[in-house]
Amino acid sequence: YPQDGGNYVGQSNDASRFSANLAQADEQNSGTNIEEKNMLIGRVSHQFKPSTQLNHTVGASYWHSTLENQQNGQSGDRNAWNVFSSSNWKQWNTTLVAGQHRLDNQDMQLPDMSTFGAFDYSYNLANHYDFYSAELSYSFAKPYGKFSNIKPYLNYSVMDKQAKGFA
């Protein structure tokens, strides 16, 4: 993609978006102003031969992009990858994900974090972290009254930030 989807109407400087992207901080002294361009995103997966009761898929994805620091004109990059596994046995579903995010924002004041934004709210996020997620869900086969496709789930996720001092 040549660039992100852009900013829409809202109160923030650059966070009026429907998905989280790098954005201009509302307060310049407490955030960054990074523009992301030239995104290369890929995904591969393999579905093992399904049976009547068991399906299993494994895969990986990768994201690389060029970053332009709008405050100093320096260029950096973003590299993120993950591996995943998804299994379905009867009405039970599991998903496991592990990955890594590395972002070089070329910002001398805030080298360990960058400003992201979504839904008209900007926030700072660690540039270097590993992440892990496990999910278990159950798909009810029959509707319950007027409700159908009921799927309660449990999810546990961890974001292991590499720099110290983050909450």
The answer for residues whose C-beta is within 8 angstroms of residue 151's C-beta and 6 or more apart is 93, 137, 138, 139, 140
pLDDT digits (tens, 9 = 90+) for 108-143: 999 999 988 877 778 889 999 999 999 999 999 899
Highest-confidence segment of 8-17, 26-35, 131-140: 131-140
Percent of the chain with pLDDT over 70: 87
- Tell whether pTM > 0.85: no
Residue 26's nearest CA partner among 7, 49, 47 is 7
Q: How confident is the model at residue 3 (pLDDT cuts 50, 70, 90)?
A: low
Per-state percent for the chain, helix, strand, coil, to nearest 5? 0, 55, 40
Question: What is the distance between the alpha carbons of residues 84 and 151, in angstroms, rounded to a whole number?
Answer: 20
Q: For the chain, what's the residue count?
A: 167
Residue 152 burial by Cβ neighbours in a 10 Å radius (0-12, 13-18, 19+): exposed
